[in-house]
Amino acid sequence: MTENTTLNRRFFMKGAGATALLGSAISGLPATASAKGMGNVSMSMAYDLSEEFNRIGSGDSKWDGIRRRARPFDVPFPMGVADMDFRTLPHITEALMKRMGHQNWGYQPIPADFYENIIAWNADRYDQTVKPGSILNAHGVLDGCLSILKLHNTEGAPVIVQTPGYSGFFGVIRNAQFTSVENPLKLVDGRWEMDLDTMADQIDEHNCKVILFCNPQNPTGNCWTPDEMRAMGDLCIDKGVLVIADEIHCDFVNKHATYTPYATLGDKYAQSSYTLKSTSKSFNLAAQHCAYLFSDNQEMIDNLKKSGHQRGSLNALGMIACNAAYKYGRTYMDDMQSYIDGNCHFLENFCAENLPEIKYKAHEGTYLAFINASGVADKLGGPNGDQRVGDLLQRFFIEKAGVNLNPGENYGKNGVGYMRMNLATTHLKLHSALNAMKKAIDAI
């Protein structure tokens, strides 16, 4: 294979063999498989997401990490850590391998069209205008959140987190040496809704100045509507609360839902908020540490740079991977949206027909399902002593089904009885995991 060889979608297509790429870096034949009841979800796709891609032995956190921690129990279905089991976009691999072939790792600026591709992605997919001078790089979304918190929460007031909410928010708030206030979401007819009355009281009581806002919401899967966000935004603007909008999951939206960027609601919302995004979720590039943040409020961006957030360039491979993703990844992203939508609805139907102890309604965004497994906990007799319900359930599913799920309490006090399940895997793995869970529950 010559250095000028260009990968195309055939590398990843259903039924196509994955030939060697620069020696033995990538090899083997993709194994296609579809689970019973899935239908032909991926038949019209350009990329074969049903390939059983083996990740064991690479040292990753999701597969190898849980296998080490769970010994002597095997975990063939790790569905906790929020990354994907699919082979990455081949254009990313090609770009990385090309750069690695040049064996010198001196200082390297960002690719010439780096910001251009970020701007085009957000404009083409979400009709969102991102100003070139407003973009700042970050090692990760939480790294950006930390810089913003340190700049804007000068009085050290507690930071609001809507819960169940991303567990990483609690860690970054602690790292900034602040405390958090949980603003609990309310479950209404199977969908989580904001409690703005309680939020208003909490802002007044604690003199809060910042909210970490997740859209689409991890772990509940909400794609917040414009009306919901305007109501929250009006409250925050009225009380002088900055909105830090983590929109890292924005590219994963199921067919019955719509993602609306918070900053597109109107100028007053854009001027009083930051938005943070990354290709780390969309293209499974978490190990590359390449994210970005922006705001229409240029003064805030300038002050953030002055306060110490200097990230002109990042890890060279991360920048190259991010650039290739946004430049070539549109069809790949469309395929993943469709594939994960199929997984969500399969999970909903499977629970309704086979797992009465678990309640789940197909969510709107992210590839994470927040399932109500309190019926399983009740069947097990509940936790002992200081044990959390989620820890009881996690141990049960690992030991009896080989399935790892994340405890709901990790995401807030109102997550008790829930478990977070990662659906960014093949139809076959999902179906097999659910069958294993059913067998384990039936045997209680």
Cβ-contact 83, 424 below 8 angstroms: yes
C-alpha–C-alpha distance, residues 159 and 178, integer Å:
7
CATH architecture of 31-85+330-442: Alpha-Beta Complex (3.90)
Calculated CA dihedral for residues 411, 239, 365, 410, nearest 10 degrees: 0
Q: What pLDDT does residue 19 have?
A: 26
Q: Which portions of the chain are predicted below pLDDT 70?
A: 1-44
CATH architecture of 114-312: 3-Layer(aba) Sandwich (3.40)
How far does CA 337 lie from the centroid of its chain?
13
Render pLDDT for 225-282 as a digit per residue (tens, 0 to 9): 999 999 999 999 999 999 999 999 999 999 999 999 999 999 999 999 999 999 999 9
pTM of the model: 0.90
Same fold? 31-85+330-442, 114-312: no
Render pLDDT for 360-406 as a digit per residue (tens, 0 to 9): 999 999 999 999 999 999 999 999 888 999 999 999 999 999 999 99
Helix (H) or strand (E) run with residue 187 in it? strand 186-188
Q: What pLDDT does residue 36 have?
A: 41
In order, the DSSP letters of 32-77 are: P---TT--STTTT-SS-TT-----TTS--IIIIIHHHHTTTS--SE
Q: What pLDDT does residue 311 have?
A: 78
Asked if the bond preceding 216 is cis, omega within 30° of 0, the reply is yes
Q: What pLDDT does residue 21 have?
A: 31
What are the boundaries of each domain within the chain?
A: 31-85+330-442, 114-312
Q: What pLDDT does residue 58 have?
A: 86
C-alpha–C-alpha distance, residues 229 and 194, integer Å:
9
